[in-house]
Structure 1
């Protein structure tokens, strides 16, 4: 009988870049990647906020550095990705997590502005970061890309068409690049969080959250950032070598429930 080979669940010696890593799912992802052994580039639009997370990781005894990154700025993405790869001696993991809340536009002019902002941050930033990272990922032993989308890319909420379109685009981008990059051993996967307790949902009253979760999710609750981050981590491990093009809801059963 052929023995079962050992499974590599360590990111030791690898470098990872997480966008939008100063809070919520991004922060939890950065911490878990570091605990798995990666040197983590913590990036966010505000350097001070990113630095706080990097300091938190270092205080635990792991490796991290902070960079300011506005993902709506194409030139900044390229610059930061290359700086990270130079600083850490390469780049093996890219997690496109940065996002914004869905906003309801009330008139035509506002809608156009909201459309452009959602597409820039939630979709264009993904492909720009991936393209900037590709030369470095191609040199990595276990290259991994994870895009964070949303269950709004699988279903829809009235009034959020710009947000839903951008998230659906991220899903399509994931699948296309998984096919395109697979021959080089680069895996590209997508996570679709459902209702998660983060800063973006902090303004929703607790009773409204409880009602929504009870009506819509199988688990009858909002998720925690670390519950999403754990799935992200699993896709970034060397052992996740045969998973690509996957779109994984982390939603407490929201998409599975009919009533």
Structure 2
């Protein structure tokens, strides 16, 4: 009989870098990883928000440090990644979470700007962060990359073509890098959140959210950021060593529902 292998379900002592961690899903992800004993690098374009999240973690007995990072600044990315690895003595996990809302009609004069900004922040920056982190991930005993996309990569909404294109690019980047980096034992997976209660959706009236959720999702509600964060954690467990190239909707059944 084949021996039973005990695989670790602990990220205790591992170092995770999370972008866009000053609010929403990024903040929830930082808190979840910290609760499980990981060393958390909280990065965000808003330095005060990043500091606040790191302070929350430390106040709850966790280990965290904040860095200001504009992922649209290509020179800042390797500088911050190197600083994180130097501070914590390595880097094991990258969570590409940072994103922006981009909405423009294809015939809008501002469309080119929306397109350029959307792809720069939500797609190009992800590969730059991964490239900067690779030397450290290759030294890790449990290297993980999780890219956050959206269900807009799997379906589409009018006026969001730049956003959808960027998020669809993330799914392609994920699959390709999963194949390329598999020889190094680095897993690369993607989460596509559906309707989640964050600052990005806060401007939508509650009545509209309720109608949308009943009409589109199987669970008839918006999700919480922590529900996405726990899926991210699951993909980063040492035990998740044979899962790579996956694109996973965390959407309350939105993509499964026809009517």
TM tier, shorter chain?
Answer: over 0.9
TM-score, normalised to structure 1's length?
0.98
Q: In the alignment, what sits opposite 2:55?
A: 55
Structure 2 portions without partners, runs of 5+: none
| Matching residue of 1:10 | 10
Task: Give CA deviations for 1:127-166 in whole Å, capped at 9, x if unaligned.
Answer: 0000000000000000000000000001111111000000
Contact 1:50–1:68 (Cα < 8 Å) also in 2? yes
The Cα offsets for residues 179-201 of structure 1, whole Å up to 9 and x where unpaired, read as 00001000000000000000000
Q: Partner residue of 2:195?
A: 195
Which SS does the other structure have where 1:67 is aligned? strand
Matched, 1:21 2:21: yes
> Please, which moves more after superposition, 174-183 or 98-107?
98-107
Q: What displacement does 1:107 show?
A: 4.7
1:35 aligns with 2:35: yes
Unaligned 5+ segments in structure 1 are: none
Alignment of 1:240-255 (within 5 A): 240-255=240-255
User: Partners in 1 of 2:89 and 2:97 — Cα distance?
Assistant: 22
Deviations 1:210-250 (A, max 9, x none): 00000000000000000000000000110110100000000
Aligned positions of 1:6-155 closer than 5 A: 6-105=6-105, 107-155=107-155
**Contact 2:102-2:114 at 8 Å conserved across structures:** no
CA distance in 1: counterparts of 2:197 and 2:108, whole angstroms = 31
Aligned-partner Cα distance in 2 for 1:66–1:84: 9
Once residues 60 and 8 of structure 2 are traced to their aligned partners in structure 1, the CA distance between those partners, rounded to angstroms, is 23
Corresponding position: 1:228 with 2:236:
no
CA-to-partner distance for each residue in 1:47-75, whole Å, 9 max, x for gaps? 11000000000111110000000011111
Distance 1:186 1:72 in 2: 25
